[in-house]
Amino acid sequence: PDPHHYDMDSIVTLDVLLSTPGVDFEGGVVSTLEADGTLVAHPLCRGDAVLFASHKFHCVSPVTSGERRVLVLELWLGPARR
């Protein structure tokens, strides 16, 4: 995984895990790159969510078996709708 990935141009990202780790899939752990250079893993359970500023570097380890399903929402700032 690329620990220097980020969600370009959106403001906030929300990831909600829809699958059950260890049952539906193996691997697939989301991690964030912290200011001190460490990569911190954030294991999630089904239904858990992680919310972060979209410019924060993040990645997901490879899914080694099964299928990992995640709802990803990116919130953007744009022109007002009429």
Question: What local confidence, expressed as pLDDT, does residue 1 receive?
Answer: 83
Residues 3, 59 contacting (CB under 8 angstroms): yes
CA-closest candidate to residue 17, choices 75, 67, 54:
67
Question: Per-residue pLDDT averaged across 6-31, rounded?
Answer: 96
Global confidence as pTM: 0.88
Number of Cβ within 10 Å of residue 3's Cβ equals 13
Whole-angstrom distance, CA of residue 57 vs CA of residue 66:
26
| Phi and psi angles of residue 18, each rounded to the nearest 5 degrees, phi first | -100, -15
Question: What local confidence, expressed as pLDDT, does residue 81 receive?
Answer: 74
Query: pLDDT tens digit string along 49-76?
Result: 999 999 999 999 999 999 999 999 999 9
Write out the two tokens for 69.
Answer: 């399903």
Question: What local confidence, expressed as pLDDT, does residue 12 receive?
Answer: 97
